[in-house]
Structure 1
Amino acid sequence: MTARRRTDLPALLASLTRYRDLIDDWPAFCEAIARPLPTCLWANPARIAAGALAELLAGEGIAAAPLAWRADGLRLAPGVRSGRHWWYCAGLAHAQEEASQLPVTLLDLAPGQRVLDLCAAPGGKTAQIAFALGNRGTLVANDLAAERIKALVGNLDRLGIVNTTVTRGDGANFPTAAGQFDRILVDAPCSSEGTLRRNPDRAADLDVALSERLAARQRALLRKAVQRCRPGGRIVYSTCTFAPEENELVVADILAEQGGRLRLCAAEVPGLKTAPGVTAWAGRTLDPSLAQCLRLWPHDNDTGGFFVAVLEKDPTVPGEPEPAPAVLAVEPGDEDWVEALTDRYGLPEGLWRDLRIQRQTRRGLHLVAADHRPPVAPGAEGRGLFFQRTNIRPPKLTTAGALLLGSQATRHRLELTATQRDAYLAREDLVPSAQQVAEAAPGQVIVTYRGFPLGLAIWHRSGTLASLFPSRWSGCAGAPAAR
């Protein structure tokens, strides 16, 4: 434990003493809160298996243990800065605290479902949902703040998500015109007490009044989710806080409003130690069914704290007519860009079978899952993945496009050494060997490391390879520290 954490601990625990009677082992809870939080990852299933990722990490001196309850999850030592490693920049993994990975598991997802992530940024849960749907079909990811939308889109691009429409607006006012959804996640903005192991300074801002203020917004979000949920559909409501005011009391109020049209389901995750929901708090006795909610206390699994409630809507409630989807525009000649791309990089013709191109901006083209049916409203911030710039000469793949398509390229592809990889991620020029460029022509090339695409570069006739890795993508510009 650092000196700073020792200094903060008394104040931090003082903000949590009102939960002492809810916690089965208060000393163990206090010890857990004082420890640094382990780093957790999940493997991008479109690019690498969890076992292969663990082997890759071990080869770089990073020990990774599998999560007992999630097949693609890995736990690393505290303090590992995943964003500074090449494999993170290549979209092979996403860093997400273990407790935060829980809500999507309980959505009971399957390909073909229409899904809404009502409070989506920064996008870890959105990406989990997208892959559970097979990166096909229709997922709508909504958030309110523009800066959080930028982080959301950045993560989806890095991971290669093509089945998602991103919208920006108040989730509590999500429009009826969007239609109804089979599954809805409400990972509600909250007081974030469960993140104190990572953010101990938040303790100074915590009080009951804050939780009560937040609860009004949380009820509005959950109420809207019930309206937008299809009869027979499922809603998962979650927070990363301990406060019953933001958790069981919010769920109890919405259940009461619905008068039997909504029911709680048992929330269980094999391999994970959890606690039941609270059924009495601050003089209020709740329905015994609230015990079916799930609480994750930090000391039970060495995680952050979390709360999850799983709700299902009565299948006999009348549904709404299915709205017509938004029209995805394609301009004459846009297919020619794809043909040119296929020819240059030797991409397989079948690659495009489950994808379609769309022009959302004058800058270039997006790739969207062929069966994606975005809603007309709210207006989209973006759909699918921006993969090719066409407003420059010559046109070029974006970094996200190179990561998505590069593994299938058979031409103009250049494998880097570890030293060259670090230089590329640091946006430095490098000089490849004659053997490396034997099968490449001057111009744009996809660069890879260990067979995994890293992005795009320009090979000049002078023999220099110029990095096009974007500085904004991550901390990988400090590449030597990433080894």
Structure 2
Amino acid sequence: MGRKRVLNRRAGRRKLLSSAADWQAFGQSMRSPLPITFRRCGLPSRSAASEACWAEGQQLIRAFEESSGRQGRALPWCHGYQLPLSRLELRSEAQASGAAAALQAWLLRASGCGLVMRQEVVSMVPALLLGVQASHRVLDVCAAPGSKTTQLLEMVSHGAEGGVVVANDAEPLRAYVLAHRLRSLGAGLNAVVVTHRGQTLPRAGEEYDRVLCDVPCSGDGTLRKEPALWASWRPGLSLRLHSLQLQIALRAAALVRAGGSGVSDCMGDEAVVASLLRAARGALELVDASGQLPELPRAPGLRNWQVIDDAMRRVPSLASLSSEPLTVRRRFRAGMFPPKGGGTSPTPPSSSLPHGAPPLERCMRFLPHLADTGAFFVALLRKTAPLPPGRRGQRHGQEALPLSKQRAAAQLAAGHSLRPLPTEAPAAEARAAEAPVGREGERLFTRSPSGRRALHVPPRVARFLGFAAEGTADGASSPLCVVHAGCPPGELEEDAEALAARLGAKKSRAERRDASATQRDRKRAQWCH
């Protein structure tokens, strides 16, 4: 499918842009490569090294801009910077320019040891909108590869005790890669990495204060970064993900406490948000975040849109498909269509009632031509009351999962559950003698069935997972399938830079396998198209 046809259908036909000038700027931006963006590491353990590294980088950036005659721009709202060229352009210029080569070498070195985080501008937005505080319990439902998780960990790591970030991914391999990355950054003590399907994620010992829901999506917001998607994009990609995105969002809403907030991004846009608000029946409200991050321009959400099939034909309503084969009708859901009233609803923007059209203009669309970024969709929601009892097809929003879902989660967690080490066993005494905890006599935990590997888990994290500070029965375990929690006692006093050098010098086996799988997928995409 050609770029022009995709652009016309995705933006022009849906009235996303209001003028011909905007349309021209949008198209030109989509055809240009994505510039390099990065930010400073905000972890307290890295503050001194990160500050020195950032000062060195600023000198190299100024030298490159003076020699090339091109100017980047600072991003003070995220402690970041946007270079005036893409990754491939920097690689090409590094072969002919000493300033470009020095900048490229610094960027590779700084990002490799975790002092600088390579992250798209719009990808930084969701975590910043959540308003995370140092004491918060935060859930990242679909966490890998972990750039947003790292942001959240930076936010909860500045308190005296710190908060907790639970990072989940449905794919165990990606979860292990994420765990290795967080540990090499020295951010592991406040993090718990688990692997569950997002729509059946079990409840931990306590409710979450904030939830970030970066659900699987069609990827059309990444067209500047992945030009190969132009040839493979189809409307059916979004249609197939609609139900999954809604199920994950409902489960995330069930896990956050009343009064807590959640950010949903990478969704099927306003259609999923409207379906989520409808299913919550007044327990969720769409927050107006237009005043936050004023430095980053955005477009309001749509209140009316068109649903199209893979042949680019408009589908006016679900009833219009009555004469189509069952295989075609099954691809569409009532929630894919605009709420009754669409863009002409008399419902005022401040209304959060479950009846009438929701204020979907409060959703945010970050478009490429507005700030030379990728494209992103973000919705900030607040939970005002417990979710209503789930109806058929909406069980993922229940506070407690159905018994069959609980059993499946328990079976998954059986081989990877976190549990306290026995306090009276001779093996535990030997372990304590070899590697004393040295932190107020806190208990050690383990993930391995044999209990050979001891882990120090901060009391705040242990309490959140349901383990009392004292009196926890030996053998009790967490309902979560834990891939990472805490750290070996010997790493507690290890210097953050030494730990990063030791763990970051070589890629984990899972990371190498994940890179190989990604390369194979790209080759297959090239062969197919």
> Do the two structures share a fold, i.e. TM-score over 0.5?
yes
What do the CA deviations read for 1:138-165 (whole angstroms, capped 9, x no partner)? 2211111122213311221222112111
Taking a change above 3 Å as real, the CA distance of residues 156 and 210 of structure 1, as seen in their structure-2 partners, is same
Gaps in structure 1 of 5+ consecutive residues: 1-9, 341-348, 389-396, 409-445, 448-452, 457-467, 476-483
TM-score of the aligned structures, taking structure 1 as reference length: 0.70
Taking a change above 3 Å as real, the CA distance of residues 36 and 173 of structure 1, as seen in their structure-2 partners, is same
Greater shift in the superposed pair: 219-228 or 283-292: 283-292
Q: How does 1:161-176 map to 2 (within 5 A)?
A: 161=187, 162-176=189-203
1:68: how far off? Answer: 4.1
Partner of 1:35: 32
Partner of 2:392: none
Q: Determine the C-alpha separation between the residues in 1 that align with 2:487 and 2:81.
A: 27
* Contact kept in structure 1, 2:142 and 2:167, CA below 8 Å: yes
* Contact kept in structure 2, 1:41 and 1:94, CA below 8 Å: yes
What do the CA deviations read for 1:167-218 (whole angstroms, capped 9, x no partner)? 1111101124555211111111101111111101112222221111111100
Higher RCO (CA 8 Å, separation ≥ 6 residues): 2
* Contact kept in structure 1, 2:180 and 2:508, CA below 8 Å: no
Which secondary structure state, in structure 1, belongs to the residue aligned with residue 86 of structure 2?
coil
* Contact kept in structure 2, 1:165 and 1:374, CA below 8 Å: no
Partner of 2:465: 374
Taking a change above 3 Å as real, the CA distance of residues 171 and 255 of structure 1, as seen in their structure-2 partners, is same
Structure 1 counterpart of 2:54, one-letter code:
A
* 1:117 pairs with 2:174: no
Taking a change above 3 Å as real, the CA distance of residues 82 and 115 of structure 1, as seen in their structure-2 partners, is farther
Q: How does 1:52-91 map to 2 (within 5 A)?
A: 52-60=52-60, 65-70=73-78, 72-76=79-83, 77-79=85-87, 85-91=108-114
Instruction: Looking at secondary structure, tell me which structure has more strand per residue.
Output: 1
1:317: how far off? Answer: 6.9
* Contact kept in structure 2, 1:231 and 1:317, CA below 8 Å: no
1:316: how far off? Answer: 7.3
Q: Determine the C-alpha separation between the residues in 2 that align with 1:320 and 1:256.
A: 17
1:235: how far off? Answer: 1.2
Q: Determine the C-alpha separation between the residues in 2 that align with 1:142 and 1:290.
A: 28
What do the CA deviations read for 1:80-122 (whole angstroms, capped 9, x no partner)? 5789723223221221111111110111111222211111111
* Contact kept in structure 2, 1:231 and 1:315, CA below 8 Å: yes
Partner of 1:48: 47
Which secondary structure state, in structure 1, belongs to the residue aligned with residue 133 of structure 2?
coil
Which secondary structure state, in structure 2, belongs to the residue aligned with residue 105 of structure 1?
helix
Partner of 2:429: 332
* 1:313 pairs with 2:383: yes
Taking a change above 3 Å as real, the CA distance of residues 186 and 83 of structure 1, as seen in their structure-2 partners, is farther
Which secondary structure state, in structure 1, belongs to the residue aligned with residue 125 of structure 2?
helix
Taking a change above 3 Å as real, the CA distance of residues 127 and 259 of structure 1, as seen in their structure-2 partners, is same
* Contact kept in structure 1, 2:260 and 2:382, CA below 8 Å: yes
TM-score of the aligned structures, taking structure 2 as reference length: 0.64
Taking a change above 3 Å as real, the CA distance of residues 216 and 16 of structure 1, as seen in their structure-2 partners, is farther
Q: Determine the C-alpha separation between the residues in 2 that align with 1:267 and 1:354.
A: 45
* 1:455 pairs with 2:529: no
Greater shift in the superposed pair: 282-291 or 122-131: 282-291
Identical-residue share of aligned pairs (%): 29
Instruction: Looking at secondary structure, tell me which structure has more helix per residue.
Output: 2
* Contact kept in structure 2, 1:233 and 1:315, CA below 8 Å: no
* 1:291 pairs with 2:361: yes
Q: Determine the C-alpha separation between the residues in 2 that align with 1:455 and 1:308.
A: 37
Gaps in structure 2 of 5+ consecutive residues: 66-71, 91-103, 307-315, 317-337, 344-356, 389-397, 401-416, 423-427, 467-477, 513-529
Taking a change above 3 Å as real, the CA distance of residues 22 and 471 of structure 1, as seen in their structure-2 partners, is closer
Partner of 1:281: 305
* 1:103 pairs with 2:129: no
Match of 1:131 among 142, 149, 154: 154
Q: Determine the C-alpha separation between the residues in 2 that align with 1:354 and 1:129.
A: 29
* Contact kept in structure 2, 1:236 and 1:308, CA below 8 Å: yes
1:281: how far off? Answer: 0.8
Partner of 2:283: 261
Q: Determine the C-alpha separation between the residues in 1 that align with 2:7 and 2:81.
A: 29
Partner of 2:486: 384
